[in-house]
Amino acid sequence: MLKGKTALVTGSTSGIGLGIARQLAAQGANIILNGFGDADAPRAEVLQAGSAHGIRVGYHGADMSKPADIVDLFKFAESEYGVVDILVNNAGIQHVANVEDFPVEKWDAVIAINLSSAFHTTRLAVPGMRAKNWGRIINLASAHGLVASAGKSAYVAAKHGLVGLTKSVALETATTGVTCNAICPGWVLTPLVQKQIEARAEKGGISVEQAQKELLGEKQPSLQFVTPEQLGDLAVFLCSPGASNVRGVAWNVDGGWVAQ
């Protein structure tokens, strides 16, 4: 379905981004990976997922908190792959502290990576998408793009901002073949959440298993983690012809979190 298209997935060396990259690759898209840490193992996984289609998989290590790195990433994407047809804004970090104790540099980092990076990638991607009259922008927001939790002011502000950016870009492109939508996951068991489970276990003097149960029980009525594969399936749907008039939605995949 996506043969001949190129997808850039930010923050795809791990977790949800890697899951989405795998699923888009399985549909035949070429993939540009991005993120920190080892890139060889994720690259091999994604190549394998797209092996039936003979896809290309590239990597660029742009730090998404740095606008100049993002410009470089797009120069790389355009010279190696032509237009970025599918942009998945996924890179994200978390920091938990009450607002009066929130380190200023952490606030700046969360806003830069979780929100401003999506502005920079989108402003660079849209002209090429408009020229081809086809494009998909998928922003990984969160249940925290729709409701708040204590201790997460920067993350909640950034994710609500990302949902707002999604709606604006969807309106600006509404008469074109370019769509922009957000996916709002509940808890997904990735390194980002594992850290929060471990911190909870340590703080409460409980086992990691117990902390995991409490974390789910508090917010996610299904009592089950959402998986990167499920989010990848939704991303694939948003890239399909059936979704060509889905515009500006913030689609929660959250085991019932925001239905409460």
Work out whether 93 is an interface residue with ligand NAD (CB under 6 A): yes
Under 8 Å between Cβ of 225 and 17: no
- Residue 255 as a binder of ligand NAD (CB under 6 A): the answer is no
Q: What is the contact mask toward ligand NAD in residues 10 to 29, using x (rule: CB under 6 A)?
A: -xxxxxxx------------
Is position 161 an interface residue for ligand NAD (rule: CB under 6 A)? no
Q: How far is the CB of 245 from ligand NAD (least distance, A)?
A: 25
- By CB under 6 A, is residue 206 in contact with ligand NAD? no
Candidates 37, 82, 127, 217; binder of ligand NAD (CB under 6 A) is: 37
Asked if 116 is part of the footprint of ligand NAD (rule: CB under 6 A), the reply reads no
CB nearer to ligand NAD: give 72 or 134: 72
- The answer to whether residue 107 forms part of the interface with ligand NAD (CB under 6 A) is no
Q: Pick the binder of ligand NAD from 140, 156, 163, 201 (CB under 6 A).
A: 140
User: By C-beta, is 135 or 185 nearer to ligand NAD?
Assistant: 185
* Per-residue H/E/C for the chain: CCCCCEEEECCCCCHHHHHHHHHHHHCCCEEEEECCCCCHHHHHHHHHHCHHHCCCEEEECCCCCCHHHHHHHHHHHHHHHCCCCEEEECCCCCCCECHHHCCHHHHHHHHHHHHHHHHHHHHHHHHHHHHHCCEEEEEECCHHHCCCCCCEHHHHHHHHHHHHHHHHHHHHCCCCCEEEEEEEECCECCHHHHHHHHHHHHHHCCCHHHHHHHHHHHHCCCCCCECHHHHHHHHHHHCCHHHCCCCCCEEEECCCHHHC
The verdict on 65 binding ligand NAD (CB under 6 A) reads yes
Establish if 153 lies at the interface with ligand NAD (CB under 6 A): no
Q: Does 166 bind ligand NAD (CB under 6 A)?
A: no
Residue 257 Cβ, how far from ligand NAD at the closest point, in Å?
Answer: 10
- Which of 74, 81, 107, 155 is the catalytic position? 155
- Residue 135 binds ligand NAD (CB under 6 A): no
Q: Does 70 bind ligand NAD (CB under 6 A)?
A: no
- Choose between 2 and 141: whose C-beta lies nearer to ligand NAD: 141
* Using rule CB under 6 A, residue 113 touches ligand NAD: yes
- Please enumerate, as own/partner, the contacts of 105-112 that have beta carbons within 8 Å and a separation of 24 or more: 106/154, 107/153, 107/154, 109/65, 110/154, 110/155, 110/158, 111/154, 111/157, 111/158, 111/161, 112/64, 112/65
Determine if 92 is a binding residue for ligand NAD (CB under 6 A). yes
Does the annotation count 59 as an active-site position?
no
What is the binding site for ligand NAD (CB under 6 A)? 11-17, 34-37, 63-65, 90-93, 113-114, 140, 142, 185, 187-188, 190-193
| Catalytic residue set | 155
